[in-house]
Amino acid sequence: MEVQAVAKFVKRTPRKARLVADSVKGLRVGEALAFLEFSPKHAAMDVAKVIKSAAANAEHNFNLNREELVVKQLLIDEGPTMKRLRFRSRGMASQYFRRTCHITAVVEDQPVVAKPPRAPRPKPAARKPAAAKPAAAKAAPKVEDTTKADEAAEVEEALETTEEDA
- 93: which DSSP letter? E
| Cβ contacts of 154 within 8 Å, gap of 6 or more | none
Select from 8, 39, 3, 4 the least CA-distant residue to 21. Answer: 39
Each residue's pLDDT, cut to its tens digit, for the chain (166 residues) gives 999 999 999 999 999 999 999 999 999 999 999 999 999 999 999 999 999 999 999 999 999 999 999 999 999 999 999 999 999 999 999 999 999 999 999 999 987 666 778 888 888 877 666 665 555 555 555 555 566 667 777 877 777 776 666 5
Q: Where are the alpha helices (DSSP H) in the chain?
A: 14-24, 29-37, 43-62, 132-139, 143-165
